[in-house]
Structure 1
Amino acid sequence: MKFLLTSGGINNKSIHDALVDMLGKPIAESNALCIPTEMYGHPWVGPRVKAWQFISGKEENPMVGLGWKSVGVLELTALPSIDENRWIPLVQETDVLLVSGGDALYLCHWMHQSGLADLLPSLNSVYVGMSAGSMVMTPKIGEYFVGWDPPGGGDETLRLVDFSIFPHLDHEMLPGNTMAAAERWAAEMQGPAYAIDDQTAIKVVDGAVEVLSEGNWRLFTP
């Protein structure tokens, strides 16, 4: 699987061009599935109007509304109650998974519960994450970002990439997300960690990591 891990969605030309390159064809010829589950676990976003905005493509941070050939909704909390033959082929055939922000640990829990976590490494599609949708791919998120408490506790996530992510660096709506805060957060991480703003994304293809940025970012190493 190829990963495009963003803080604020596909919101500049560098990130948009990278997505098209990873797809290998125009967005208008690509089929997408969007995952809104993570939004329900976060008090700021769901299940209020923001979940509807994301699914309908009316989101502030462009993802679903980019002009895809088709868009389906993959609701992870529903998957354990339906036959795998109803959804696994659909996921395997899609060109891109679009995963919005929300609560990374809630998303991780339902990725495991639904079986999607086991399926992800075998997919040939592009995974596009935003904020929590990006953080869930990392080894851990750090105590700074723990909101929803998983049944087993902790802050561990899927480990499908080998670095951690501090999103929304210097965001005007998140005054605590300063570089100094990112430095303190990174000191708790046991591996490489990136602080990225909303004009930055991290591209991972076959283990090769590339930062795409029209903004501000920093790599912290142990």
Structure 2
Amino acid sequence: MKLLLTSAGVNNKSIHDALVDMLDKPIADSTALCIPTAMYGHPWVGPGVKTWEFISGKEENPMVNLGWKSVGVLELTALPSIDKDRWVPLVRETDVLLVAGGDALYLCHWMRQSGLADLLPSLRSVYVGMSAGSMVMAPNIGEFFVGWTPPNGGDKTLSLVDFAMFPHVDHEMLPYNTMAAAEKWAAGMQGPAYAIDDQTAIKVIDGAVEVVSEGHWKLFAQS
């Protein structure tokens, strides 16, 4: 499984080059499915205009508008109501999954309910997450990021990587997302934790982790 876990999309050359390398072919020859589901669970984004902007490639964070051969929509909340043979082959055949930000626990819930969570480890697709779309891969997200509350409570996510992520460090519109806040958050996590700004992504291929950055980031490694 190949993961490109971004804070704010494919928004600089280093992250773009990493994506192309992971695809092993040009973006123009690659098919994509975008997953907007996390947006519905977050009060700042969707449903509504922001969700449409993501799907249509009109938003400022490059994901859908990179020049793909084709782009489809995979809405996780719809999947439990349709037969798996309607959507599983589509997911297996696509080159990249583009997973929007929003609420990580809401996204995690619907990844599990839909069956996508079970499918992810076997996919050949490149998974590109943005913000919550990246955080959901971690074992948990920490109390700092809990918004939507899952039926069973808690902050556990998919555990498809062994580290947690604190995105949007020092973002001008998120005054609480400071490196000091990230350090305090990391102290409460059980394993390695990365704080990354919007010019940074984490590349994971078969468990090997590499930070791709034109900005700043920090790894908090638990002793």
Give deviations 1:60-113, integer Å, cap 9, x for gaps.
100000000000000000000001000000000000000011000000000000
1:215 paired with 2:194, answer no
Q: Partner of 1:112 in structure 2?
A: 112
Matches within 5 A, 1:193-208: 193-208=193-208
* Partner-residue secondary structure (3-state), 2:87: helix
* Partner-residue secondary structure (3-state), 1:202: strand
Matches within 5 A, 1:122-161: 122-161=122-161
* Partner-residue secondary structure (3-state), 2:210: strand
- The CA distance in 1 between the partners of 2:83 and 2:161, in whole Å, is 29
- The CA distance in 2 between the partners of 1:159 and 1:142, in whole Å, is 13
What's the CA shift for 1:3? 0.2
Q: Percent identity?
A: 83
Q: Partner of 2:164 in structure 1?
A: 164
The two structures, once aligned, show a CA RMSD in angstroms of: 0.4
- The CA distance in 1 between the partners of 2:109 and 2:60, in whole Å, is 26
Stretches (4+) displaced over 3 A: none
Give deviations 1:91-140, integer Å, cap 9, x for gaps.
00000000011000000000000000000000011000000000000000
Give deviations 1:17-46, integer Å, cap 9, x for gaps.
000000000000000000001000000000
Q: Partner of 2:121 in structure 1?
A: 121
**Unpaired segments of 5 or more residues in structure 2?**
none
What's the CA shift for 1:59? 1.2
* Partner-residue secondary structure (3-state), 1:64: coil
TM (normalized to structure 1)? 1.00
TM (normalized to structure 2)? 0.99
